[in-house]
Amino acid sequence: MDITRRGFFLISTGLLSSLIIKENAHAVEGRYATLVDITRCDGCSSEQIPKCVEACREQNRKRFPEPKKPILPYWPRKTYEDWSDRRDKIDTLTPYNWIFVQKATIEGRDIFIPRRCMHCDNPPCVRGCPFGALTKRPQGNSVINEGLCFGGAKCRDVCPWHIPQRQAGVGIYLHMLPKYAGGGVMYKCDLCKDRIEKGEEPACVVACRQRLKDNAVFTFGERRDIYGLAKQRKKKEGLYLYGDIQNGGTSTLYLSKVPFEAINRALIEKKDRFKMPVDVKNKIQTTFNPIGKAVLSMGFMGMAGAIVGAIISKRVHKGGDEDVRKD
């Protein structure tokens, strides 16, 4: 697929938007939040697959990546990330699995923790993406635009929980400089953005309630109500709260009977890919370099402009593509 002028306009718009993001576009609480009560989660041990995982996969199946093969490594790397032959793997986060139920054993007791994007109030992934492929929505969720993502994985690097996952062989980089720039597309939970924009709950929340009724693990609602409920139960039941201050605050809160320091130690001991550190500082101030970002984006825009210009000139000369000639 060649890139038309309209396609290039979308790319350049995304790049420019990444340069002019206003400070007040961040540290926004958002409208909704989710409370995850791990005192109630049994990991769906009686089910073939956890209901939250099953619902998420069904909801997003049409959006799963279908890589173009053979996949080529890009310079200077000699490897690439390809999960397409492991798309049924459900015990971790992948480009095909945006939520999973993590298991930690503490003093002989198993604890189950549904893990997905935390949807931070001040998301480093949004601020750190050099191509403007991520946005924070008014609802409180952070969303990856798969049409703008080059798979550079900066979002994963700055995420305290390393949530976004990369799939090579897909995305816009294939149509530009596949051997030298990009690495695929990053994927993660977007809180069922289409559903919540229509006033519906995320699929994982609905599926869990259908199984556990009034003792559901997930509670989704107005942020003020969710935060109030979480703090009330923390005080009344002597529980531990996670997500309210980590990384400057998030739209995903956890309640636990055991300290999250103990949970994190257990995850470290089992060498799990995903941890739950308690002392999580927001990385935006320490990792974001606006000058470097500007140089990278503008340099890329120049390179993209030259490539697209050559493509357009060639196609117009040959009398091709209606979309190009009409522009």
Confidence of residue 134 (pLDDT cuts 50, 70, 90): very high
pLDDT above 80: residue 179? no
The DSSP line for 84-111 is GGGTT--SS-BTTBS-EEEEEEETTEEE
Q: Mean per-residue pLDDT for 19-40?
A: 74
- Whole-angstrom distance, CA of residue 229 vs CA of residue 111: 22
Residues 200-222, mean pLDDT to the nearest whole number: 97
Q: pLDDT tens digits, residue range 267-290?
A: 999 999 999 999 998 877 544 444
User: Top-level CATH class of 29-288?
Assistant: alpha beta
Q: Where are the beta strands (DSSP E) in the chain?
A: 32-37, 100-106, 109-115, 134-136, 142-144, 165-167, 185-187, 218-222, 240-242, 252-256
Q: Is the peptide bond before 70 cis (omega within 30 degrees of 0)?
A: yes
Report pLDDT for 285. 52
Peptide bond into 202 cis (omega under 30): no
pLDDT 10s digits, 61-112: 999 999 999 998 877 788 899 999 999 999 999 999 999 999 999 999 999 9
pLDDT of residue 306: 47
